[in-house]
Amino acid sequence: MLKPKRKRIIAKNTQLIRKLKGKRALPKRSELSRTLERFCKSKGRKIRVIFVCPAGLYTSAAVWGEFNEFTEKNNLGKFFDVKASGIFDYALKPNENLEKADVLVSVNPYVTSTLEDIAKKFKSKPRILSHYYSSRSSVDIGLLQEIASSLERKH
């Protein structure tokens, strides 16, 4: 049998939990979404993120799809303009997509150094992040936080 003092503690915890459950319906905005919103307002446009893999777009397109799905699920999709590209496609036929990006995400370890060399020539000086994608790893909140912190440093 529980002691009277123990019963009181359980009752208080139950009341506290009920009170918190009511407040969970309207969560506070996270620091991440505030950072992304601040950047979008200052630029007057969405954040341009491009996932880059070596040649074929299979890997970068897979990450791109997961990234879009993850951001939409967490109500952050409105801040991003996301594309996928191949580094060798760019080398053969340069396009302005890579040059206009705010963040370039390398999804393959072999691409990162090449991407850094190419990005040195760009006027916009995009941030370059490495997110090595494999079947076991996927897009998570860590990647979004990395993007946000790189934008803060750039801005």
Q: What is the pLDDT of residues 104-136, one digit of tens each?
A: 888 877 778 878 888 888 877 888 887 776 655
The Cα 138–Cα 81 span in angstroms is 19
**pLDDT category of residue 18 using cuts at 50, 70 and 90:** low
Question: DSSP H helical segments within 1-155, as ranges?
Answer: 4-23, 31-43, 58-73, 87-92, 96-99, 112-119, 141-154
Separation in Å, CA 118 to CA 50, 58, 79, 123:
14, 21, 26, 11
Coil, strand or helix: which one is 66? helix
**What does the pLDDT read at residue 129?**
82
pLDDT at 3 over 70: no
What percent of the chain has a predicted confidence (pLDDT) above 90?
0
pLDDT at 31 over 70: yes
**pLDDT category of residue 15 using cuts at 50, 70 and 90:** low
The Cα 155–Cα 38 span in angstroms is 10
Nearest Cα to 56, choosing from 98, 122, 108?
Answer: 108
| Domains in the chain: ranges and CATH | 46-154 (3.40.50.2300)
pLDDT at 42 over 80: yes
Specify whether the CB–CB gap between 128 and 112 falls below 8 A.
Answer: yes
Q: Among 29-43, 93-107, 124-138, which stretch is predicted with the lowest mean pLDDT?
A: 124-138
Tell me which range, 15-19, 51-55, 74-78, 142-146, is most confidently predicted by mean pLDDT. Answer: 74-78
The Cα 102–Cα 21 span in angstroms is 39
The Cα 147–Cα 132 span in angstroms is 14
**What is the pTM for the complete model shown?**
0.70
| Residue 64 CB burial class (10 angstroms; 0-12, 13-18, ≥19) | buried
pLDDT at 88 over 50: yes
pLDDT at 52 over 60: yes
Select the more confidently predicted residue: 41 or 132: 41
